[in-house]
Structures are given as structure tokens and as C-alpha cells.
């Protein structure tokens, strides 16, 4: 295994990104899908905090069919790495952003009539049609044309000379906990498509499923692509799932170090606000990371970390640059020891699901909360 880093300084808090695991995950997910399903790799938000360039390059190598990003800046960064690679912009375009769709050769998501008009002008000016995916709102209440009106927007796209329809899609609001509503959303989507006259679904990307959607994916029918974010990073959107059978591995782990060890007498209060006081004579370790790195303040008096393969509770409030843990029962803890916030150490593990529950959030947000101060260290061996 080789570790690469842009910094020569010792690491105080870092995220380890296992690119070989990412590649294995893509291949596993693909292998679990019907062979005609195309793979849309969702790499918005700096590839869920994993780092866009490294992640996207590896996903290209592993055989993603299309990339999806949230905004122009992400699309431009991706275009640098992948000339010619299809990139779908998931978010709506601001008025002054239109021309960049042609400049970066992007696929736009359209939900409204004025977007089609605007992109038609962009296509005319560029002398090259702009490809769009028509988004249909089947119950998310966010982007997309309301499903009962989709056929009108479809007709407008087909009639626009400088816009080319490349796909149709919808997005589920509760794929992880409401299979009935998800089924209703699928039904609305298919019904809307059936009203689009002359639509040739076989020529288009037809997609609805994100990671959690795969639980109820219908291999029959017109669906021929999936949009995968979380699962490719080895994280299950919920427990007890069919998806667990696709044995993806975590790509991300989150680590810090012990900066100081000291003994304190019983009844000493710990950290800001004195929300915790020691119940016994104790040994504490001060970690070299805090909320400025991504250890949520909500984990104060709640979370755990791994040191020497043992779970150690967080004592008192998490602070900006330091977090205090109890190591009274862990022999030989020393300054410099590696501490696991998310990931494995010896036979112990803290999953991102646990970390997120302690932080009162979800794994998606946890990944987006690891700050810029935290270097991403890439494990680049194939590890096959
Ligand atoms: C983020 C996003 C996805 C990926 O969702 P995961 O749950 O991370 O797989 C898919 N589709 C859209 C529209 C998204 O915004």
C-alpha cells in the first residue's frame, strides 16, 4: 500500500480514501445490476468529500458511464479530468450560467419551459445542440416538471431545434423507508412517460434509482440507468437492507492523533461549559482534532473514538481544535497514537452510521462536514 500526500508535515487529522475499494465497489454494484443498466456516478460535493479529481479518475477507470454533479464549478473541475466524458448537471441553472453549458459541453437538467427556451438559444449560438435530461417530479417536490404536466415539456423539448433530449429521470423522496410511496413514484413516472408521444425510451437514459432505490429496482420496464452516490463509497443508505448483499467496502476513514495524555483527579470538570465531571481519578487523552475538522459538536459527551483498538468515550464538549476522551482503562496510550473517528482499528470499528447518529445527522452530511483543514490521503494500490 502506498500513501501519497501533498503535505510533508506530520498528519494531525486526516481522511484516508481507499481508491481500490472504490473501484471494487463500482464493479460489485454493476455486477449486481442487470447488464443493460448504465452507471451514473454521482460525484457532487467534491465526490461526497472524498475529493473529486482522484475519485472521478478512478471511477472513469472502473467504467462509469456518465457523471452527475451539482453545479458548474464541479462540472468545470470534472471537465478538466475527463475531456469528452458525459457530465450531467443536477441543479437548476442560474440566469448567467447558461452559456457555460455549451462551453463545458454539459448535459443540463430541465424542469421548466423557460429553461428549454434558454438552452435552445445557447444551442443556437454554439451551433451545436444542447443535450438535456427531462426531470419529472413524481413526489419529491423539488426539481422537475410535475408529472401530470410532463408531456407538455417533453413536446417542447422535441420541438426545440437546438435542444436534444438525452434522458428522462425522477428522484425518490423516501426510497429507504417508504417502499409504497416509492412504488407510487415509479408508477407516476411511467405513466407520465407513456403520455409522451413518440418517445423512444431505448434511445435515452431512463433513470430513477439512487443508492437506496436499488432496493426496489425494477429490472423489467424502461429503466436503463442508476444514479449512485453513497453506495459506491461503501456506505449503505440504511441497515437491514438487500443492498447489504452487495458487499461494498467503506472507502473513507477518518483519523486523528493523541496530542496529550494526562491524569486528573475525580470531580475535575472537563471542557467548555463544565458539562462533564470526572467520576473517578482518570487519564484523559486530548485529540488533535475538533469541530473545525468535522467532529460535530453534537458528539460532546456522546461519541466514541478508537485508541489501541478500544472504544473511548468523548468527555465534555468537543472544541474547535481539540477533543477530550477517557483513556483510563486503555493501557499505554501515548502522545502521537493514531485515533480512529470513523473506520477500523485492530478488531474494532466505528461505522460512519454510528458516527453520524452521535452527530445527530446522516452519513451524507457527515462526509460533507469533513473540513478543508483535513487532508485526504489516497491509498492507491490495486489491492486486488
Ligand atoms: C445526490 C443524488 C443522487 C445520489 O444519491 P445517493 O443516495 O447518494 O446514492 C442521485 N440522484 C440525485 C438527483 C441526487 O441529487
Mean pLDDT of 283-305: 98
Q: Of 342, 364, 361, 340, which Cα lies nearest the Cα of 352?
A: 342
Residue 219: the pLDDT is 73
Question: 159: CA distance to ligand 1 center in Å?
Answer: 30
**What is the CA(176)–ligand 1 centre distance, in A?**
12
Q: What is the DSSP string of 14-79?
A: EEEEEHHHHHHHHHHHHHHS-TT-EEEEE-HHHHHTT-HHHHHHHHHHHT-SEEEESSHHHHHHHH
Please tell me the predicted confidence (pLDDT) of residue 6. Answer: 53
- Ligand 1 centroid distance, CA of 379 (Å): 25
| Model pLDDT, residue 220 | 76
Three-state DSSP at 304 gives strand
Distance CA 378, CA 2 (A): 8
Distance 90 CA to ligand 1 centre (A): 9
pLDDT number for residue 164: 98
Higher-pLDDT residue of 213, 130: 130
What is the atom index within ligand 1 of the atom nearest the CA of 48? 8
C-alpha distances in angstroms, 347 versus 308, 309, 327, 358?
10, 6, 18, 21
Residues with catalytic annotation?
A: 44, 272
Looking from the CA of residue 212, the nearest atom of ligand 1 is 7
Rounded CA separation 90/27 (Å): 24
Q: Is the pLDDT of residue 384 over 50?
A: no
Instruction: Indicate if the pLDDT at residue 78 is higher than 70.
Output: yes
Query: Stretch 322-346: mean pLDDT, rounded?
Result: 98
pLDDT at 307 over 90: yes
When mean pLDDT is compared across 192-196, 224-228, 242-246, the lowest value belongs to: 242-246
Mean pLDDT of 95-112: 97
CA 235 to chain centre: 9
- Residue whose entry in the numeric block shows the C-alpha cell 469533513: 370
3-state secondary structure of 218: coil
Residue 242: predicted pLDDT: 74
Q: Which atom of ligand 1 is nearest to the CA of 70?
A: 15
229 alpha carbon – ligand 1 mean position (Å): 6
User: What pLDDT sits at residue 245?
Assistant: 82
> What's the pLDDT score for residue 383?
47
Residue recorded with cell 465497489: 25
| Residue among 42, 173, 206 whose CB has most ligand 1 atoms within 8 A, to mutate | 42
Closest CA to ligand 1's atom 15: 90
User: Which atom of ligand 1 lies at the shortest distance from residue 232's CA?
Assistant: 9
- 244 has a pLDDT exceeding 80: no
Residues with CB under 6 A from ligand 1: 42, 44, 90, 171, 210-212, 227-231, 237
The reported pLDDT for the residue numbered 1 is 41
Segment 245-268 shows an average pLDDT of 96
Read off the pLDDT of residues 51-77 as tens digits, 9 standing for 90 and up. Answer: 999 999 999 999 999 999 999 999 999
Probe ligand 1: pick from 43, 48, 68, max atoms within 8 Å of CB?
68
> Which of the listed residues 227, 252, 356 should we mutate to test ligand 1's pocket, taking the one with most ligand atoms within 8 A of CB?
227
- Res. 141: pLDDT tops 90: yes
Q: What is the predicted pLDDT for the residue at 246?
A: 85
Q: Which region among 90-104, 149-163, 238-252 has the lowest average model confidence (pLDDT)?
A: 238-252
Give the pLDDT score at 372.
96
Question: In this predicted structure, what is the pLDDT of residue 381?
Answer: 67
Whole-angstrom CA distances from 179 to 33, 153, 183, 230, 363 are 19, 28, 6, 19, 21
Closest residue by Cα to atom 6, ligand 1, is: 229
| Centre of ligand 1 from the C-alpha of residue 226, in Å | 10
Mean pLDDT for the chain?
95
Please give the Cα distance from 350 to 219 (Å, whole number).
35
Residue 254 pLDDT more than 60?
yes
pTM assigned to the model: 0.95
pLDDT tens sequence across 146-205: 999 999 999 999 999 999 999 999 999 999 899 999 999 999 999 999 999 999 999 999
Indicate which residue's Cα is closest to atom 4 of ligand 1: 229
Residue 238 has pLDDT above 80, yes or no: no
What is the tens place of the pLDDT at every residue in 257-287? 999 999 999 999 999 999 999 999 999 999 9
Mean pLDDT of 334-359: 98
Amino acid at each position: 500500500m502506498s500513501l501519497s500526500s501533498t503535505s510533508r508535515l506530520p498528519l494531525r487529522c486526516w481522511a484516508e480514501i481507499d481508491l481500490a475499494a472504490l473501484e471494487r465497489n463500482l464493479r460489485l454494484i454493476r455486477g449486481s445490476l442487470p447488464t443493460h443498466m448504465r452507471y451514473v456516478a454521482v460525484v457532487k460535493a467534491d465526490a461526497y468529500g472524498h475529493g473529486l479529481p482522484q475519485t472521478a479518475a478512478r471511477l472513469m477507470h472502473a467504467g462509469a458511464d456518465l457523471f452527475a454533479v451539482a453545479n458548474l464549478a464541479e462540472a468545470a473541475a470534472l471537465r478538466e479530468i475527463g475531456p469528452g466524458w458525459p457530465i450531467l448537471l443536477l441543479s437548476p441553472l442560474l440566469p448567467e450560467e447558461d452559456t457555460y453549458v455549451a462551453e463545458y459541453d454539459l448535459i443540463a437538467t430541465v424542469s421548466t419551459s423557460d429553461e428549454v427556451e434558454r438552452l435552445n438559444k445557447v444551442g443556437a449560438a454554439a451551433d451545436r445542440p444542447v443535450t438535456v435530461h427531462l426531470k419529472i417530479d413524481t413526489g419529491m417536490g423539488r426539481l422537475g416538471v410535475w408529472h401530470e404536466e410532463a408531456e407538455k415539456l417533453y413536446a417542447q423539448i422535441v420541438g426545440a431545434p437546438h435542444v436534444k433530449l438525452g434522458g428522462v429521470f425522477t428522484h425518490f423522496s423516501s426510497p429507504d423507508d417508504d417502499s409504497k410511496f416509492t412504488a407510487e413514484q415509479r408508477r407516476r413516472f411511467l405513466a407520465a412517460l407513456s403520455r409522451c408521444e413518440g418517445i423512444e425510451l431505448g434511445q435515452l437514459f431512463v433513470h430513477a434509482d439512487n443508492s437506496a432505490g436499488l432496493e426496489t429496482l425494477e429490472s423489467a420496464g424502461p429503466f436503463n440507468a442508476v444514479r449512485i452516490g453513497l453506495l459506491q463509497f461503501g456506505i449503505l443508505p440504511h441497515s437491514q437492507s438487500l443492498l447489504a448483499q452487495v458487499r461494498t467496502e467503506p472507502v473513507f476513514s477518518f483519523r486523528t492523533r493523541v496530542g496529550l495524555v494526562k491524569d486528573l483527579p475525580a470531580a475535575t470538570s472537563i471542557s467548555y461549559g463544565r458539562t462533564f465531571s470526572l467520576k473517578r481519578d482518570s487519564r484523559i487523552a486530548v485529540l488533535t482534532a475538533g469541530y473545525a475538522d468535522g467532529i460535530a459538536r453534537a458528539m460532546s459527551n456522546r461519541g466514541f473514538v478508537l485508541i489501541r483498538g478500544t472504544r473511548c468515550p468523548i468527555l465534555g464538549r468537543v472544541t474547535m481544535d481539540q477533543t477530550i476522551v477517557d483513556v483510563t482503562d486503555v493501557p499505554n496510550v501515548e502522545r502521537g497514537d493514531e485515533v480512529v473517528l470513523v473506520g477500523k482499528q485492530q478488531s474494532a470499528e466505528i461505522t460512519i452510521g454510528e458516527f453520524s447518529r452521535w452527530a445527530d445527522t446522516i452519513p451524507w452530511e457527515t462526509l460533507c462536514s469533513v473540513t478543508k483543514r483535513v487532508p485526504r490521503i489516497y491509498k492507491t494500490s490495486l489491492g486486488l
